[in-house]
Amino acid sequence: MRRAKLMVIGGSAGSLQVIMEIMSVIRPDFPLPVLIVLHRNSIFESNLEELFASRSQAIIKEVEEKEVILPGVIYIAPADYHVLIEEDQTFSLDYSERVNFSRPSIDVTFRCAADVYGTDLVCLLLSGGNADGVEGLGYVKERGGLTVVQDPVTAEVPYMPQHALSQVAVDFVVAAGNIPAFIKGLAFLPPV
């Protein structure tokens, strides 16, 4: 299996605790960038950078326009913007209409990432209460990226992962408690 060059994690209701656990395995020497697209309330949002920094030694920052994507950095999609990825592996922010009632939309980011990274992409879909991310995950699979879904049995809000499993032949279904170890193992695979 080839080592990825980007990991995108999408989550909504019920996914924050799993993401907090993932933070503990992402160190400064983590060999790939991680982008977290989390449905957030743009008015009453918490400071996710500080929250995640309490669990990880890696650099954690909110995505900025035209920012170069670097390994070992955890990027957070800003509230109320879609995160796009350009061919030159930089971020772009977009304020167009909501997708699946969401902005940022997991679908939008999964699709852009798949167009740029193809087989070098890993996408993980976590707990959530709507279908955002499902169509994008299918597109990632078509483009040869690795698709991972949280086991719905272990999801606080199982709708999103259940819907993904009904629509996409994903590569891995991983229980919430095993996701950090899975990511650590995946990231540190020797290159092929």
Domain definitions of the chain by residue range: 6-187
Tell the residue number behind the tokens 């955890």, with chain if given: 74
Residue 2 has a pLDDT of 57
Q: Looking at residue 45, what is its pLDDT?
A: 54
Q: What is the pLDDT of residue 188?
A: 67
Considering the candidates 15, 105, 132, 151, report the single residue annotated as catalytic: 132
Please check the confidence at residue 110 and state whether its pLDDT lies above 60: yes
CA distance 147 to 134: 11
Amino acid identity, position 118 = G
pLDDT of residue 43: 47
Which residues sit opposite 168 in a β-bridge? none
* Residue % of the chain over a pLDDT of 70: 93
Active-site residue, from 39, 102, 105, 163: 39
pLDDT, tens only, 9-62 = 999 999 999 999 999 899 888 899 999 999 876 544 567 788 888 888 899 999
Q: What is the pLDDT of residue 35?
A: 97
Report the pLDDT value the prediction gives residue 108, as an integer from 0 to 100: 95
Q: What is the per-residue pLDDT for 27? A: 86
Q: Please give the pLDDT value at position 158.
A: 96
Q: Is 88 a catalytic residue?
A: no
C-alpha pair distances (Å), 159 with each of 131, 135, 182: 8, 14, 22
Q: Quote the pLDDT of residue 49.
A: 80
Span 90-103, average pLDDT: 88
| Between residues 74 and 47, the one the model is more confident about | 74
Q: How high does pLDDT run on average in the chain? A: 90
- Annotation marks residue 56 as catalytic: no
C-alpha dihedral, 48 to 64 to 72 to 3, nearest 10°? 110
Q: Is 163 a catalytic residue?
A: no
For the whole prediction, is pTM greater than 0.85? yes
The correct answer on CATH 3.20.20.150 for the domain covering 6-187 is: no
Say which range, 22-31, 94-103, 113-122, 130-139, has the weakest mean pLDDT. Answer: 94-103
Mean local confidence (pLDDT), 113-134: 95
Instruction: Give all strands (DSSP E) within the chain, no chain letters.
Output: 6-11, 34-38, 59-62, 73-76, 82-85, 91-94, 121-125, 146-150, 172-174
Tell whether the model's pLDDT for residue 147 goes beyond 50. yes
Q: Which residues lie below 8 Å from residue 185, measured CB to CB, with a gap of 6+?
A: none
Percent of the chain scored above 90 by pLDDT? 72
